[in-house]
Amino acid sequence: MDRVLALDAAYPLPLLPSMLEKFPKAIEPTRWLPRCRPAQPKNSRTRSFGRRAVTSGNGWTQDLEDEMRGILRVIKAKDEQEFLTVGKLVLNLNRGLAVAGPVLAGTAAFAIVFIGSGEDGTWASGAAVLGGALAAAVNTVEHGGQMGMLFELLRNCAGFYRKIQEDIEANLAEPDVERRERGEVFATKVALKLGRSLSDLKQFRKMASPSVQDEDIKEFAGKLF
Q: Quickly state the pLDDT bin for 92 (edges 50, 70, 90).
A: very high
Rounded-to-integer distance, Cα 22 and Cα 85, Å:
17
Q: How far apart are CA 137 and CA 139, in angstroms?
A: 6
What one-letter code names the amino acid at 75? I
Q: For residue range 174-224, what is the model confidence (pLDDT) as tens digits?
A: 888 888 999 999 999 999 999 999 999 998 988 888 888 878 888 899 988
DSSP secondary structure letters along 41-83: PPSSPPP---SS---TTS---HHHHHHHHHHHHHIIIIIHHHH
pLDDT in tens, 1-18: 888 888 887 877 766 677
Q: How many CB atoms lie within 10 A of CB 62?
A: 15
pLDDT (tens digit per residue) in 100-125: 999 999 999 888 888 877 666 678 88
pTM score of the predicted model: 0.78
Tens digits of per-residue pLDDT, 66-76?
999 999 999 99
Distance CA 114, CA 116 (A): 6
